[in-house]
Amino acid sequence: MGVWKRLGIGLLTITMLIGGGTAFAQKEQPKEPDPFQNLGLSADQKSKLDTAKKERMSALGATQQKVVGIRQKLMSAMVDKKVSDREIDKIADDWAAADKEALKTETKFYKTLRQILTQEQLTKLSQGGK
């Protein structure tokens, strides 16, 4: 069995194990306390925060699905000698673009927090919301 084929199978196996472990961890982990609960939010702030959280989760969910598809495509390409290095590089570039998209989503969320929360609330949030 060729080195690349073994590497590809190994990477695919690891990816599946990590994905399965992540799914299991998401189902079994107890909910973390809400870091916003002790900030003394007004009704308006709560409403805006809920909207921002929903937008963030929706965008991150779509990006995560995209990354999973790209990762699967990369694993398939790695074990297929017919796929050129250029094509593999393109897939890797797509993955990097999806990661950048996720970072932009997170940054947008944090910028929204800066608009919603007061300086005191931001400071308290940065200290764990206590």
Q: How does the average pLDDT of the chain come out, rounded?
A: 83
Q: Which pLDDT belongs to residue 89?
A: 93
Mean pLDDT split into 10-residue runs, the chain, 130 residues: 56 60 54 82 93 92 90 92 94 92 92 94 82
pTM summary value: 0.65
Residue boundaries of the structural domains of the chain: 3-126
Tens of pLDDT along 96-124?
Answer: 999 999 999 999 999 999 999 999 999 98
Distance of CA 70 to the CA centre of its chain: 14
